Amino acid sequence: MRWKRTIQLLDVHAEGEIGRVAIGGVPKIPGDTIAAQLHWLNTDPKGDELRRFLCLEPRGAPIGSVNLLLPARHPDADAAFVILQPDQAHASSGSNSICVTTALLESGIVEMQEPETIVTLETAAGLVKATATCRDGRCEKVKLTMVPSFVHELDVGVDTPHWGRIKADICYGGIFYALVDVGQIGLTIEKANAAGLVQAGMILKELINRDIKVVHPEIPAISGVAYVMFRDTEADGTVRTCTTMWPGRADRSPCGTGNSANLATLYARGKAKVGDTFTSKSIIGSEFEVGLQAVTEVAGRPAVIPTITGRGFTFGLTQVALDPFDPHPNGFALTDVWGPSAGEI
């Protein structure tokens, strides 16, 4: 084969959310820190080409992420990674951290110790401690100690043409979220409503980012509301979530960074304390356990240290390649599958 580029992907999902892990062929990414590498991927044409190559058609699809494994820069880290999605590169993700941990251990890149292996992951948002329960060569579950999460602003009013004035909590859980009680848009979080939820999420994200500017006070490379997450609370205290993602799809997992952001709101409102745990359920019914491990500060703001526990499952091994004569080296997206905004790519 006269391929110009090849990248090997270990296919993994965490509670339904696909997070392929690039374990071979990853090119050198410029930058002295993971945050600087994230910035390069989002601002340099060559970084954009790599993301499009992996995430758009014909090699990619609207669902899921590709995690680029990178050499760790922090002396305490076992591995580093950046998350590529169809819209841009992202700093942090709970489901993808579970996928990466599972891939590292089950591929042998990091030696598995039974019954428990601790893997320290370096992200642009900081270090994530992954405690993996292991048995018979399998990673059974992963408990993540996430980066500090905090509230930017609660009960922000957003004027919308469809639902009138709604309220959103703008919070950080590794990336910035707008958290919206789903009843405000007249829907419930269930599979039959996925299309309506993601349509609403795309509209709200555009409105919120137009009017509200957010930048991490210590990591300038992390800015803007990345996702709108709809939430609801069931009678038994289970938090039901649906994170909406470009180009218009629902996160299949309960969402680790979104639940971390939501935990910050619960703490700020006096509804959660250190030691509390609860179940978060996704739109497909899969579950994460969410815990409040500790409290801290970020640039003088109250913050929480969340834990997220879930399972990762490998389901394939893929090698993607670029034929030097391929007329679509940077990929493409059409509105039939990718939604109306795909026409802008």
Domains parsed from the chain with CATH numbers: 5-145+313-344 (3.10.310.10), 149-307 (3.10.310.10)
What pLDDT does residue 322 have? 94
pLDDT in tens, 78-109: 999 999 999 999 999 999 999 999 999 999 99
Integer-rounded Cα Rg, in Å, for the chain is: 19
251 is in an annotated binding site: yes
257 is in an annotated binding site: yes
Q: What is the mean pLDDT of residues 257-283?
A: 98
Nearest C-alpha neighbor of 163 from the set 133, 197, 194, 132? 197
Q: What is the mean pLDDT of residues 224-241?
A: 96
Q: 344 pLDDT exceeds 80? A: no
What pLDDT does residue 19 have? 98
- Sign of the C-alpha dihedral, residues 51, 194, 210, 343? positive
pLDDT in tens, 296-328: 999 999 999 999 999 999 999 999 999 999 999
Q: What would the two tokens of residue 237 be?
A: 């205290």
296 is in an annotated binding site: no
What pLDDT does residue 116 have? 98
Q: What would the two tokens of residue 21 be?
A: 């892990």
Residue 46 backbone dihedrals phi, psi, to 5 degrees: -70, -35
Share of the chain above pLDDT 90, in %: 95
Q: How far is CA 51 from CA 43, 169, 272, 334, in A?
A: 11, 30, 38, 17
Q: 1 pLDDT exceeds 80? A: no
Cα–Cα distance for residue pair 94/86, rounded to 1 Å: 18
Enumerate the active-site residues: 93, 255
What pLDDT does residue 157 have? 97
pTM for the full predicted model: 0.96
pLDDT in tens, 14-35: 999 999 999 999 999 999 999 9
Nearest C-alpha neighbor of 284 from the set 199, 198, 192? 192
Cα–Cα distance for residue pair 199/130, rounded to 1 Å: 33
Q: What would the two tokens of residue 182 be?
A: 């789903």
What pLDDT does residue 333 have? 93
pLDDT in tens, 326-338: 999 999 999 998 9
pLDDT in tens, 51-67: 999 999 999 999 999 99
108 is in an annotated binding site: no
Cα–Cα distance for residue pair 159/183, rounded to 1 Å: 16
At 2, which helix (H) or strand (E)?
none
Q: 341 pLDDT exceeds 90? A: no
37 is in an annotated binding site: no
